[in-house]
Structure 1
């Protein structure tokens, strides 16, 4: 596999001044070995960029940056006097470049570095599945090309530029992820990354507290499609009407993908489609079709119908980057679940734990419950089916209704025990009971309480799903189940 993360390129003084349009207020700029925002590691002749956040101010760490080996720093012009006063004379070679805003400077430098890269740049967005699809796309492309892929979920105004700053001449493709919490953010990220291939996985009820409607979520996601150049490719989920409609905003070629159902004719029009899916404890498989014609059988070590969609999106992006579909599909065979994303483990005591505690939305809750139900029918287990479900955050005025709908889905999942956590969890319980759920319901105020009382709802041998938004920290319950086995 060709996934690599090499050392950063040198940033020359001419590039630094041209990209930031900053003013040198101390010393003389020199070529810098990369850009850093954290002084807790050796900076090796790099450039320190003093970002200001809610809990820290990089301008307070200029002396530490110099001590760690940085050649200089980019600072906010408004803090020039304080910055000059914080450095002692022994650091006379340490230069300072003042700019109007250091975050904007970070993005400008990243854009400059990105423009030196001539290979395809894939950007992935969507309400669910962004990170998994990004990893799948990078894995598929890495079958033949050297790839730089964004680490973890580096998908915001800081993480995306830091990824681009790792591009070097040896890279042949770059894969990034774009998140958003409001209108205009993806457009801003796209203006930095300048993607040539854009993937939109789906549109679902996320960030409704900030955006107010599903249509506005779609508008925000479509900013990626609108940013693509005429010679680029938009890879769109044709089974999602809000995503399919984004094609009207694209100057790039459009590639649709979707899942063929029995009697469905869409497979003939989709560029890529999946048919004859099979679901089992160790993953999924499906027949990959191009324009409705079978191409090859794809095997995944990732569970759930939603991962078939993620694989189709990734393969569409990889094909646009020059990778034959068969080669991309073969590369996906060894990819395993990311931590806390339907991470399925059989414990020594016979419990099968589905740890999906990384995050949650109505769409991903539905997918997780569907996986639990399918897994219960495919494994030889006499244990109970238990779902531990917590709050889905940032749903605003839609929260109670969305949680109750998840409760309705839980009532249809064949559960023996429903454990709920938090205020949203209580709404899930309410929805389940209203839908006729007859199993046991246990509710806790927070994840810590649920973990402490694990013996009250878990028995070795159970099939247990754990899922909530990241802020609920429901991995505490997963740890408690793991200890009991």
Structure 2
């Protein structure tokens, strides 16, 4: 973060600086801003936020013990460090992020790119970071810091040397992306896809589309909206933005598109086409859906003056999208594991299964280990059913369904006429591991896919022998 005196920080957030007896007020604070006391380190600033069941006040002492030199809280706390007392810590966090980004931006160096979509945000963010790091200092969130807390915390990582800020903007309810855009209006905004992720919070895919469109509706005319030409709901957002529109996709109408996409267990190759430019790209990341993410990143960085050759070279060096996201693992016994169990929606589950089918193509056994897709609300049974039927239609050899919440995948597979008992329902990850331990053989390709809450990501590591 940029240097601020505690008094300046208090003034920005509309707070009152409280000095407990014996507390030393530092001349300036510029350390990392955290809301999780476990992430506090010497020099950090701790925001005590209200959680679902606990308040950050309960963890402020732990943050100070780990080195936090300033606490933003909703009460006077006697912790031996100065306290900025505010009415609403979350609102103060957003206000501070808005001010810090605006200050750095006023120097004329900082450019901001934001990403939203039902799937692919984190992968696209990592691709953007890999490319832009070749040009200058980049701030981008680690993991999926994309909500009302995580996004402002990520923004507060900028300092006066930062050239690029990459922000993920996720939402579980209408209005959340609008609030993030109000903190930092992007120079370039990417909308990847509208699907049923978090459908339980939105109620329908149409409402999900409205929420994702919040990213582009408030863009100024000198900004750029990078939209998926292959998703009709995303493409329609061109009519609701003042920004210049650039499209990406597989269709010939896209400004930045891919041709000749081919996926093997070694990676994904495609031809990048943009105007008169044609160049071959070979990603180490699997899947046609990740080609779409790459196209979005390539279209965005071109707006910052980054050439396609340099950008493609950076993408080709990217070893994986993120830990537990289409992560390719080679087990000592010759089994290949695609560990994609950090998150799951109907679209991403279908994309991962299609990738599994494509990389095996009858030459190797395809084994799918699937857990629950969370946060689907009333669509849950129907969408799990659809995935079960898709497994059969893709000729996946073995299906292992883990947990009661995913049972409709197993049930639907069994109802398909061509299925002959190749699906097994087990209670938990241990049951899946015990089953597979006696089943797997060299050459098998195993996809492990579920929402994070299903807890299968460590199962993929265990199958591959990764500690």
> 1:127-181 CA distances to partner (integer Å, 9 max, x unpaired)?
1111001111121222323211111111112211111111112111111111111
The Cα shift of 1:234 comes to: 0.6
2:369 aligned residue = 388
Q: Counterparts of 2:325 and 2:38 in 1: how far apart (Å)?
A: 30
Q: Give the 3 Å change call, closer, same or farther, for CA 101–124 of structure 1 in structure 2.
A: same
Q: Does 1:316 align with 2:299?
A: yes
Q: Does 1:221 align with 2:212?
A: yes
The Cα shift of 1:123 comes to: 0.6
The Cα shift of 1:95 comes to: 2.5
Deviates more, 1:277-286 or 1:216-225: 277-286
Q: Does 1:31 align with 2:28?
A: yes
1:304 aligned residue = 287
Q: Does 1:400 align with 2:387?
A: no
1:181 aligned residue = 172
The Cα shift of 1:466 comes to: 1.0
Q: Counterparts of 2:317 and 2:266 in 1: how far apart (Å)?
A: 11
Deviates more, 1:185-194 or 1:430-439: 430-439
1:74 aligned residue = 72
SS of residue paired to 2:235: helix
Q: Give the 3 Å change call, closer, same or farther, for CA 117–227 of structure 1 in structure 2.
A: farther
Q: Does 1:340 align with 2:324?
A: yes
Q: Does 1:425 align with 2:425?
A: no
Q: Give the 3 Å change call, closer, same or farther, for CA 206–36 of structure 1 in structure 2.
A: closer
Unmatched 5+ stretches in structure 2: none
The Cα shift of 1:60 comes to: 3.1
Contact 2:339/2:461 (<8 A) preserved: no
Give the TM-score, by structure 2 length: 0.91
Deviates more, 1:449-458 or 1:197-206: 449-458
The Cα shift of 1:476 comes to: 4.0
Question: 1:109 aligned to 83, 89, 96, which one?
Answer: 96
SS of residue paired to 1:73: strand
> 1:216-275 CA distances to partner (integer Å, 9 max, x unpaired)?
111111111113222111100000000001111212111011104xxxxxx2x4211111
Contact 1:33/1:44 (<8 A) preserved: no
SS of residue paired to 1:32: coil
Question: 1:48 aligned to 46, 49, 57, which one?
Answer: 46
Give the TM-score, by structure 1 length: 0.88
2:127 aligned residue = 136
Q: Does 1:365 align with 2:362?
A: no
SS of residue paired to 1:481: helix
Contact 2:388/2:411 (<8 A) preserved: yes
Q: Give the 3 Å change call, closer, same or farther, for CA 188–274 of structure 1 in structure 2.
A: same
2:393 aligned residue = 412
> 1:293-348 CA distances to partner (integer Å, 9 max, x unpaired)?
44311221111110110110000111112212222122111112222112122322
Q: Give the 3 Å change call, closer, same or farther, for CA 400–113 of structure 1 in structure 2.
A: same
Q: Give the 3 Å change call, closer, same or farther, for CA 224–289 of structure 1 in structure 2.
A: same
How many residues end up aligned between the 2 structures?
A: 456
Q: Counterparts of 2:331 and 2:151 in 1: how far apart (Å)?
A: 37
Q: Give the 3 Å change call, closer, same or farther, for CA 463–209 of structure 1 in structure 2.
A: same
2:309 aligned residue = 326
Task: Spell out the pairing of 1:159-174 with structure 2 (5 A cutoff).
Answer: 159-174=150-165
Contact 2:195/2:347 (<8 A) preserved: yes
Contact 1:208/1:396 (<8 A) preserved: yes
Aligned-pair Cα RMSD in Å:
2.3
Q: Does 1:20 align with 2:20?
A: no
Question: 1:468 aligned to 432, 447, 450, which one?
Answer: 450
The Cα shift of 1:364 comes to: 0.8
Q: Give the 3 Å change call, closer, same or farther, for CA 145–410 of structure 1 in structure 2.
A: same
Q: Counterparts of 2:388 and 2:41 in 1: how far apart (Å)?
A: 50
Q: Counterparts of 2:405 and 2:233 in 1: how far apart (Å)?
A: 27
Contact 1:30/1:71 (<8 A) preserved: no
1:147 aligned residue = 138
The Cα shift of 1:100 comes to: 0.8
SS of residue paired to 1:11: coil
Q: Counterparts of 1:259 and 1:15 in 2: how far apart (Å)?
A: 50
2:192 aligned residue = 201
Q: Give the 3 Å change call, closer, same or farther, for CA 412–158 of structure 1 in structure 2.
A: same
Question: 1:258 aligned to 241, 249, 254, which one?
Answer: 249
The Cα shift of 1:278 comes to: 2.1
Contact 1:442/1:457 (<8 A) preserved: no
Contact 1:400/1:424 (<8 A) preserved: no
1:275 aligned residue = 259
Contact 1:203/1:243 (<8 A) preserved: yes
